Structure 1
Amino acid sequence: MAEFVKVANTSDLAPGQVKLVEVGERWVALFNVGGQFYAIEDRCTHDDGPLAEGMLDGHVIMCPRHGATFDVRTGAALTFPAVTPVPAHEVKIEGDAVLVSTQRKRK
């Protein structure tokens, strides 16, 4: 069974914002897209770019290094130069708490 850790309050992240959070031993980018929260690991699979520093457009985050894009809901690589998905983590909301699973989502 997955363990969840509190990483933020819902009020910490307005829609369209990204926050870098620590989940267990991993750095994860937490996204608020229209009031829905998503989490993917913070490293571009092409060149280890910091995704939390990228530009968010809807459900798509662009790596600030070479422009690869990923779907924040699933971690899927959408454009070159990335071809490998970024691991995603399940997110739960309990009251005002944003909880992220310490385990990667299974495909």
Structure 2
Amino acid sequence: MTLTIDICPLAELPPGERRIVSFEDVEIGVFNCNGELLAIEDRCSHDDGPLAEGELDAAACTVECPRHGSVFDLRTGKPMTLPAYMPVDTFPVLVEDGLIKLEVD
């Protein structure tokens, strides 16, 4: 069953910024890549370390794992560089009445 959770007002997540949220036992990074809102699991598939705290390239819509440097595509969750080779989960993001919302299972 898909649930929709409120994240924050759109004005609180300007381009180039991120917000890390918890849902049940999952941490999720929500990113504003130059106006495109994307959400990815905050877990590097290489060693389960935090991912969303890494360096954001808003132009390319990627985030670099702060532990070992794997770069992940925020649109697909796929790693673009080693040592990670397995994708991580992504989540649909929508905006309703100026509020960012996230669809989770």
Instruction: Return the TM-score normalized by structure 1.
Output: 0.89
2:67 is the alignment partner of 1:62: no
CA distance in 1, matches of 2:12, 2:50: 20
Query: Identity across aligned pairs (percent)?
Result: 41
Aligned to 1:38: 38
Alignment size in residue pairs:
103
Per the TM alignment, residue 77 of structure 1 is displaced from its structure 2 partner at its CA by: 1.1
CA distance in 2, matches of 1:50, 1:56: 13
Q: Pairwise mapping of residues 6-21 of structure 1 onto structure 2 (< 5 A)?
A: 6-21=6-21
CA distance in 2, matches of 1:27, 1:12: 19
For 1:67, give the aligned amino acid.
Answer: G
2:22 is the alignment partner of 1:22: yes
Per the TM alignment, residue 25 of structure 1 is displaced from its structure 2 partner at its CA by: 3.3
Gaps of 5+ in 1: none
CA distance in 1, matches of 2:102, 2:12: 15
Instruction: Return the TM-score normalized by structure 2.
Output: 0.91
CA distance in 1, matches of 2:25, 2:49: 18
For 2:84, give the aligned amino acid.
Answer: A
